[in-house]
Structure 1
Amino acid sequence: MTLGEQLKKLRNEKALSQPDLADLTGIEQSYLSKLENDKSMPSNDIFRKLLTAYGLSLADFIALFDRRYAETQLKQIPDIEHWLKQQQQSQMLNQRRYLYICSTLIVLALTLFYVGQSKILFPEVQFGYYSQGVVLAGEPKDIFDDWDKMIPREDVNNQLYYKKKMEMTQRKDEKFILSEKFLGKNYVVTLPKGLRLYRADSEKMIAQPINAWLCIAGVFFFVMGIMGFILERRVYKTVT
């Protein structure tokens, strides 16, 4: 529908004759006739008067027309041209934000998938460490394994040997800990009375379902991001 046809339709909906509308807007009837027959384009001032008479907002009036027609024909009216430029800028801004969101989804997807696949946050291997007891100040760290080497050879079978053996047996206080990080073959924990020497003893695999969920979430967000790019042209028509 053309501008003239729409103006005539709006006038009829208001049950106004051309003379009535001319009196209401202060526009000559002959000029209104030209407008309704598409023989003239209204000035910005007259266009505003017509909108007031019809009780329409600028956006509502433009919505009555095909977008292409508004951009090619109605654009000659300054108010409409300004409104169309604002809409174009808004559309471009929204389109840019939409693409940013799609890009963010893909980056998030790759990050989640990497974290889940690499198990960097939730390791599935635990390292076991074993300590035989507390090593007192001044003693070698491997005292529980090599205490017998501290006994002179000539005294191996005497009371000193058995006394030391009994002492080390009584001092044994075994501890076993699990760590998600590899702390080395040996590591030392300092205590008030001495220290504990922990030695790598075993490795244990544990299930961490959250890693699988992270991978699933990564795939989901990746698909969402890609689909967003594919549908972008349908969501936002090409700006002209």
Structure 2
Amino acid sequence: MNFGERLKDLRTDKGLTQPQFAALAGIEQSYLSKLENDKSIPSAEMFDTIVSALGVDAATFLQEMDRDVIDTTLRHVPAVSQFKNQVVTEQVHQTRRWLFGSAGAWLLGFAIMLAANDGIFFPNNLYVYKSPGVFLAGEGENVFDSYGKILALQQRAKLISNEEASKLLSEFTARRERPLTVEWPESRGTVYYEATENGKRRFELTRIRGMESTGNRMLQYIGALVFACGFAGIFIEWRLRRLKNQLH
């Protein structure tokens, strides 16, 4: 949009005829007609007079005009230089916001994917523990290995018969030697103990089994999507800036 077109649009928006606006601005109607038809270029003082008569500021008047016209026809007007500086400053701030937003999306997306990979919110591993059975207070933790040896020694010493040894071992196995395997989503160390009704169990870590967590898989997808939004933000900012330059 040229200067004359912008002037005419604002004048008609306010419902003023050429004679009315010329009188309001204190200029000749013929001169106003030349301005609106781009047959004359306003001086810096006349530009300020026209803007004041329209009841708008310089930025409002200039924002709908073509940038090429501003850079050539009105380059001698001080308000134009201020407007151009303001446009550049706003563009820098807008670009910076997009860049910071994109960088934030990259960091957040990477953090989400890293959290999924490390199993921070949902476990990626199962810890498998085994217990040979229940041992009573005062008994050694190796009672399951030593009890049979003790019975064998008693047999050799003729303290108990073979039948008695077999019976005792069978009763011990039935009441105490009850293997149990459990899995936990978090580590409980290499060994941990758990109280039972008649004693306690000793659990030893036997292996760590990897698992595919649905929660972590979802986090991976979300993180990748957020990360991609960072690139989308850069592209959108570039397109908007290019479109804005084309429109002006």
Q: TM-score, normalised by structure 1?
A: 0.71
CA distance in structure 2 between the partners assigned to 1:11 and 1:187 by the alignment: 87
1:214 matched to 2:228? The reply is no
Alignment of 1:170-209 (within 5 A): 170-172=175-177, 175-183=180-188, 186-189=190-193, 191=195, 195-200=200-205, 206-209=211-214
1:29 matched to 2:28? The reply is yes
Deviation at 1:172, TM superposition (A): 4.4
Deviation at 1:210, TM superposition (A): 2.5
User: Percentage identity across aligned positions?
Assistant: 22
Tell me how many residue pairs correspond in the alignment. Answer: 233
Contact 1:123 1:180 in 2 (8 A): yes
1:234 corresponds to which of 232, 239, 243:
239
Deviation at 1:34, TM superposition (A): 10
Q: TM-score, normalised by structure 2?
A: 0.70
Deviation at 1:124, TM superposition (A): 4.2
Q: How big is each residue's C-alpha offset from its partner over 1:132-187, in whole Å with a ceiling of 9 and x where there is no partner?
A: 43433332212123222344714456168467533564234654321124556x51
**Range with greater deviation from structure 2 (76-85 or 32-41):** 32-41
Q: What residue is the counterpart of 1:130 in the other structure?
A: 130
CA distance in structure 2 between the partners assigned to 1:53 and 1:24 by the alignment: 6
The CA RMSD over aligned residues, in Å, is: 3.9
Q: What residue is the counterpart of 2:147 in the other structure?
A: 147
1:106 matched to 2:111? The reply is no
CA distance in structure 2 between the partners assigned to 1:29 and 1:191 by the alignment: 103
Q: What residue is the counterpart of 1:77 in the other structure?
A: 77
Q: What residue is the counterpart of 1:62 in the other structure?
A: 62
Q: How big is each residue's C-alpha offset from its partner over 1:108-151, in whole Å with a ceiling of 9 and x where there is no partner?
A: 33333344455564334423322243433332212123222344
Contact 2:18 2:29 in 1 (8 A): no
| Code of the aligned partner of 2:40 | D
Deviation at 1:195, TM superposition (A): 4.2
Contact 2:115 2:121 in 1 (8 A): yes
Deviation at 1:101, TM superposition (A): 1.6
